[in-house]
Structure 1
């Protein structure tokens, strides 16, 4: 077993236009099973009462009141985060979890499964942010990327945070979390 047990996976609600993306999701699932890691994921559906968000953890479905509560619950229960190729929702969740790391809310690994270069432009944007002085060079290491599940999980297990948090953990208190960390 690896350094962490529970992985939160951010992904699109469909598999995209190319088979390679669905295959990559299946490969990640196999790698997680092989390493005996649990999957933490969230989703939403529209019902009679409007948006209902849910988080699945260890086979348990938790109904939460809103998207922030869902993300906080997923982050609290996960030891690491992986983003598969996806759309706006995947990007939003990914960027928030990266920002939480930069702020010092958590120090868990954040990985991009960069299938067929899907995230090359985003990684280039992060590099441009460093070049232009908007992202601290030490914070660039928050995001780990690889083209295969096996390589990504290996890099994530080796991850050691080296960036300087920009806010003290004590100043961040997510509802129901008294010590300020996730």
Structure 2
């Protein structure tokens, strides 16, 4: 499990075995059952979690009471609310919920700062992770505005090829910004072609 984390973070910066040992020492392993709300709107988020196993969704509830999924986090992805709680020290506006039984390697802000003190090159690696997350978010926003439902769904399948077998269709529809009925029609059209 630590090897997954080490491989993930080493994609951006080369680390010595000693540095990776510090990372592993400061990571907290946690198991979280399916359908657990790890964070609710109004709470402070005090974790950045690396998904070892399982599937998580991050969402908010819009003014009409509908859930809008912002992110799916599956194996080898990170999940948190860094925009409000961690960097701005404000209560979160999102919910984070496990959709499957999950295993995480978790970092509190305090442990992350300790990591940066003891092994400063991790600061660069985490900066790159944040930049990559920003790029993915901007690309998703662009796709939401400019692409058809079919194009969005096809791109979704490229990014998350196993997710349609793991999560309910209405979650995927929410992520794509379309109704579950429209997603069903899109999938049927794709199957016919």
TM, length-normalised to structure 2: 0.26
Q: Flag the structure with higher helix content.
A: 2
TM, length-normalised to structure 1: 0.27
